[in-house]
Amino acid sequence: MEPAPLSSLQEEGGPDESSSSSAFSAAAVPPRPATHHSLQKYAPVDWSAYFDEERPVAIPDTEDVFNVYMAGSEGPVVFCLHGGGYSGLSFALAANQIKGKARVVAMDLRGHGKSSTSDDLDLSIETLTNDVIVVIRALYGDLPPAIILVGHSMGGSVAVHVAARRAIHNLHGLVVVDVVEGTAIASLIHMQKILLNRAQHFPSIEKAIEWSVKGGPLRNIDSARVSIPSTLKYDESKECYTYRTPLEKTEKYWKGWYEGLSDKFLSCPVQKILLLAGTDRLDRSLTIGQMQGKFQMIVVRHTGHAIQEDVPEEFASHILNFISRNKIGPNGVEIPGLIKKWQH
């Protein structure tokens, strides 16, 4: 696939200038000189503004090293899995809201962020699922704290597969963010075009952050400033920034992310929430499952696909309410009477 030309990054409301001048040239319309104010508005923010620790997790007997961000010191672990093309920093603002009452671990999946593996293009659902399981075991051994898996989009599918595998001891919750099998599979035929039509190259990180909220997937500048830099890499040959993850090269895995997802989600033996941005149409299995009370569905208004980035406070409140309602403590479900009994 040939990358889109530099002119693919246009100012908001600007005309198509691909035939006349680059959006970065002096003749670009509308002109937008790099003022101190604009650079400051879209300046990158370090992960440490929201997380407490960044840790490389090396997997024994492999070349794989997964990067995780950690926040908080008490309560159960909210283990977050981002969507395709995002990174663990997609959960930065939400982590800052959650960490006072629960621990947050956000992982850079294979081929994303700062994680490095022997095959970064192997984004098969089986490989991604195994990656998460081995990282959790590397972090916590055979006696992990209580864990709530949270997954957005592609990461939601990975979270479901991890939960369905029943390989994580002390798993007490599953939160799937804005992914429904039927809608996801139906959208796959358009995905290559969507990837091709997005801005492909950026002269600076600031321009990439600006594009992400003006013409890209995000609506929250504060989240974009911390999450977008980790989704980019510098291309020496073109002297510009481009995407860290070449999603267009992973098409053969896309269908596997979502096929059979609804039934697998319903089969997971833990408490479940489906968070949706807008009234996504549930398929038959999910509709019946919801009517039977097998999971809770929450529709979040006034947000884009990345709910955790666009409305992090509301997202965090749903996670904390889920933990509270299900009485999930640092080591599992807490029953007050039993706690008192064991304390004597």
Q: Which of 112, 152, 305, 318 is catalytic?
A: 305
CA distance 146 to 126: 24
Q: How many other C-beta atoms lie within 10 A of the C-beta of residue 15?
A: 10
Contact (Cβ atoms closer than 8 angstroms) between residue 44 and residue 205: yes
Catalytic, 120? Answer no
Cα 200 to Cα 178: distance, rounded to the nearest angstrom: 25
User: Exactly one of 90, 153, 212, 262 is catalytic; which is it?
Assistant: 153
DSSP string of 66-114, one letter each residue: EEEEEE-SSS-EEEEEPPTT--GGGGHHHHHHHTTTSEEEEE--TTSTT
Q: With 0-12 CB in 10 A as exposed, 13-18 as middle and 19+ as buried, what is 315?
A: buried
Dig out the tokens for 150 from the structure. 């949270």
- Amino acid identity of 173? G
Q: Which of 161, 178, 230, 262 is catalytic?
A: 178
Q: Is there a contact between 255 and 185 (Cβ–Cβ < 8 Å)?
A: yes
Identify whether the C-beta of residue 178 lies closer than 8 Å to the C-beta of residue 166.
no
Tally of CB atoms within 10 A around 2:
6
Active site residue 153: yes
Structure-token pair, residue 26: 């002096």
Can 161 be counted among the known catalytic residues? no
Name the residues annotated as catalytic. 153, 178, 305
